[in-house]
Amino acid sequence: MGAYKFISELYRKKQSDLMRYLLRIRCWQYRQLSSVHRASRPTRPDKARRLGYKAKQGFVVYRVRVRRGGRKRPVPKGCTFGKPKTQGINQLKFQRSLQAVAEERVGRKCGALRVLNSYWVGQDSTHKFYEVILVDPFHKAVRRDPQINWLCQSNKKHRELRGLTSASKKSRGLGKGHGYSHTTGGSRRAFWKRITTVQMRRKR
């Protein structure tokens, strides 16, 4: 068994004594650091490589801390002013995942870099920790690499803010197969609009 395979097998057994100890120590360390900080190297090199990371110039890894829990509606004194259907405050869920939120925060902080992907590295009762892979689109080592220079195109700016990264796409319901029949045509809205619009010829 190779090293990367060994690491990936370890992470599949998160309740083993080794992983419980490792994750507890790491979470303590991450809590002492700022919410968004640069990591010297990926904590999970096997996962990072599977998501496109290369240990060369132009590639950066940032670690980010996100608070867990649902989304409380931000209204003054709990007054929503509307019908009973929209009066909920507490038991609401945010449409996007915490991983997508983590990518967005790193993308805003490092505006010149492009978000490639991200992965989970740990969690405790209050926070979830993710590592985000970023790429410098103006570095020659990236621009000359045919495997990654697609990210240098101008229409790849801030993919994380437009729901184009892997974590963001999951909440948009995009995919192939019978489970994704409500987003054929690009999005839920496009699908709904197409099936509800009646198109008739003018003279019939």
pTM above 0.85, yes or no: yes
Judged against a pLDDT cut of 90, whether residue 85 lies above it is answered with yes
d(CA 43, CA 47): 9
Kindly list the distances between the CA atom of residue 7 and the CA atoms of 20, 29, 44, 80, in Å, as whole numbers in the listed order. Answer: 14, 20, 8, 49
Contact status, residue 26 vs residue 43, Cβ threshold 8 Å: yes
- Residue 203 confidence class, pLDDT cut points 50, 70, 90: confident
pLDDT in tens, 152-201: 999 999 999 999 999 999 999 998 888 899 999 889 999 999 999 998 98
Exposure on the CB side of residue 34, measured as CA atoms within 13 A: 8
Residue type at 73 in one-letter notation: R
- Averaged pLDDT, 52-72: 97
Which of 117, 131, 2, 153 shows the shortest CA–CA distance to 65? 131
Instruction: Give every CB contact of residue 149 below 8 A, 6+ residues apart in sequence.
Output: 142, 143
Which of 100, 134, 135, 104 shows the shortest CA–CA distance to 120? 100
Structure confidence at residue 34 (pLDDT): 97
Which of 95, 31, 86, 21 shows the shortest CA–CA distance to 63? 31
